[in-house]
């Protein structure tokens, strides 16, 4: 289900890359383009959230009143949504689209040779075998990223084989199985190349597999921006001191507030864990997406506020 979307996005990302000739810059432009395409869905989602906020007090009253009566709770909830001309599933479509987008981009950035460069699987298997036979670095989680990283070494090994006029034939059986690099054209190797150098960083690197401290810059920025984005999207309400407002039992029962509180605690940890084990190219996309979400949030709030006035 996800692969066709990753394949489609691959055409877009490759088109942008061929213009700018830089993977990092292509990801930034790609992120902006996807966000622009998502604006209609975001506007609808924002309007739904505003409607949900307006009926929140009524919803809390119903939840508190029928907290021990699930049947009447469901009936009263449906009646409330009906009276407000809303659907309890109105936010599901945008959530599904965002999940598909998330996994599609993950597939794309994880396997850029398959989805972006459209390299045949037989060619990829050949280069994986070359890396194994020549004891080059391999990473089972991101094999295509490793191939891109090792292209220069593969070229070097190819030249060494060309320069070697006397090859020992003691292990003839092994030599028959081993891929002859001299038979591979430079054009084929170049067709796999993607310029992943971006602001002094190699976007093919995975932080946990690198000794360069600079690889932690993008994940750190991503986590910081994600926390800000999450705070803006799910603000935690301050407790009021007023006795008139404060039924503590009712506040504690509010599942939405509790869920938002848990998200604000758990998600930053998840963001950091994923960013440290993913290629920097993926972390860069997520960083840009979080930045654009903050800009989008303020822009839509301003636009919808002007519409209401």
pLDDT per position as a tens digit, 284-297: 988 898 898 888 88
Nearest to 58 by CA among 42, 82, 91: 82
Residue with tokens 């959230």: 49
Average pLDDT over residues 209-231: 84
Q: What is the mean pLDDT of the chain?
A: 78
Q: How confident is the model at residue 249 (pLDDT cuts 50, 70, 90)?
A: very low
When comparing pLDDT for 183 and 116, which is higher? 116
- Angle of helix 217-233 relative to helix 255-277, nearest 10 degrees, comes to 170
Highest mean pLDDT of the ranges 26-30, 78-82, 183-187, 236-240 = 26-30
Predicted local distance difference test score (pLDDT) of residue 251 = 44
Q: How far is CA 17 from CA 1, 52, 141, 156, 198, in A?
A: 25, 41, 24, 26, 13
Residue 276 confidence (pLDDT) above 70: yes
Predicted local distance difference test score (pLDDT) of residue 7 = 92
User: Of 140-144, 255-259, 303-307, which range is least confident?
Assistant: 255-259
Residue 59 confidence (pLDDT) above 70: yes
Q: How confident is the model at residue 81 (pLDDT cuts 50, 70, 90)?
A: confident
Q: What is the pLDDT of residues 140-167, one digit of tens each?
A: 678 888 888 888 888 888 888 766 644 4
Q: Where are the domains of the chain?
A: 2-117+194-308, 120-193
When comparing pLDDT for 160 and 20, which is higher? 20
pTM for the model? 0.77
Predicted local distance difference test score (pLDDT) of residue 22 = 94
DSSP state for residue 235 in the 8-state scheme: P
**Could you give the percent of the chain with pLDDT greater than 90?**
15
How many whole angstroms separate alpha carbon 84 and alpha carbon 102?
Answer: 32
Q: How confident is the model at residue 207 (pLDDT cuts 50, 70, 90)?
A: confident
Per the CB < 8 A criterion, the answer to whether 60 and 254 are in contact is yes
How many whole angstroms separate alpha carbon 138 and alpha carbon 298?
Answer: 43
User: Of 92-101, 179-188, 237-246, which range is least confident?
Assistant: 237-246
Per the CB < 8 A criterion, the answer to whether 2 and 15 are in contact is no
Q: How confident is the model at residue 65 (pLDDT cuts 50, 70, 90)?
A: confident
Which of helix, strand or coil describes residue 87?
coil
Q: CA geometry: angle at 63 spanning 60 and 64, to 5°?
A: 85
Residue 49 confidence (pLDDT) above 80: no
């Amino acid at each position: 289900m996800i692969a066709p979307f990753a394949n489609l996005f691959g055409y877009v990302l490759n088109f942008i890359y061929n213009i700018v000739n830089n993977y990092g810059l292509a990801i930034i432009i790609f992120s902006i383009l996807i966000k622009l395409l998502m604006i209609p869905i975001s506007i609808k989602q924002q309007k739904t959230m505003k409607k949900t906020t307006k009926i929140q007090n009524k919803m809390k009253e119903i939840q508190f009143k029928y907290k021990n009566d699930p049947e009447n709770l469901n009936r009263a909830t449906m009646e409330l949504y009906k009276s407000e001309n809303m659907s309890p599933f109105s936010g599901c479509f945008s959530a599904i689209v965002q999940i598909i987008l998330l996994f599609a981009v993950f597939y794309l950035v994880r396997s850029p040779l398959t989805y972006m460069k459209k390299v045949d699987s037989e060619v990829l298997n050949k280069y994986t075998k070359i890396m194994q036979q020549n004891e080059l670095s391999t990473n089972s989680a991101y094999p295509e990223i490793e191939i891109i990283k090792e292209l220069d070494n593969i070229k070097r090994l190819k030249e060494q084989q060309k320069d070697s006029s006397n090859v020992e034939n003691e292990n003839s059986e092994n030599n028959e199985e081993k891929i002859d690099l001299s038979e591979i054209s430079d054009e084929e190797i170049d067709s796999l190349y993607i310029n992943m150098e971006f602001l002094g960083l190699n976007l093919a690197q995975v932080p946990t597999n690198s000794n360069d401290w600079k690889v932690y810059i993008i994940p750190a920025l991503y986590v910081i921006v994600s926390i800000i984005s999450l705070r803006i999207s799910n603000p935690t309400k301050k407790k009021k001191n007023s006795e008139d407002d404060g039924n503590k039992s009712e506040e504690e029962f509010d599942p939405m507030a509790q869920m938002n509180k848990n998200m604000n605690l758990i998600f930053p940890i998840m963001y950091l864990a994923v960013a440290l084990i993913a290629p920097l190219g993926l972390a860069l996309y997520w960083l840009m997406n979080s930045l654009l979400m903050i800009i989008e949030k303020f822009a839509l709030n301003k636009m919808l506020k002007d519409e209401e006035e």
